[in-house]
């Protein structure tokens, strides 16, 4: 195997292994996109409208509840349970490229 691997370009192999391990740049960019959407949803009501326009399969009522609960948790200095749930919901809504 070592003899065969000397003639093989390692970059594509490393890229595929990184993708399988979830450490690829593409996966990281997707996670950052989810973070940006979560912040936008918490800052503006228009962001939810925009998200629902681009992803009509999303559960609007569930997202509204999570956003409202996240605001309440922040005001009452409670653990950010709903804040984390928004991230999980967005992971299901936004496809990974």
Residue of higher predicted confidence among 81 and 97: 81
C-alpha to C-alpha distance for 90 and 85, rounded to whole angstroms: 9
What is the DSSP code (8-state) at residue 58? Answer: S
pLDDT digits (tens, 9 = 90+) for 69-90: 999 999 999 999 999 999 999 9
Question: Taking phi first (over 0 means left), then psi (-120 to 50 degrees means alpha), and beta for anything else, what does residue 58 get?
Answer: beta
Confidence of residue 6 (pLDDT cuts 50, 70, 90): confident
Given a cut of 90, whether residue 37 has pLDDT beyond it is yes
Q: What is the pLDDT averaged over residues 32-38?
A: 96
What pLDDT does 28 receive?
A: 83
Confidence of residue 22 (pLDDT cuts 50, 70, 90): low
CA distance to 6, 27, 42, 59, per residue, from 96 (Å): 34, 7, 22, 18
């Amino acid at each position: 195997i070592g003899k065969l691997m000397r003639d093989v370009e390692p970059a594509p192999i490393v890229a595929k292994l990184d993708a399988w391990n979830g450490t690829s740049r593409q996966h990281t960019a997707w996670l950052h996109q989810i973070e940006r959407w979560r912040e936008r949803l918490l800052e503006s009501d228009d962001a939810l409208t925009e998200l629902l326009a681009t992803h009509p399969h999303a559960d609007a009522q569930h997202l509204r509840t999570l956003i409202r609960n996240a605001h309440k948790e922040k005001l009452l200095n409670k653990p950010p349970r709903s804040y984390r749930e928004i991230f999980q919901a967005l992971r299901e809504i936004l496809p990974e490229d």
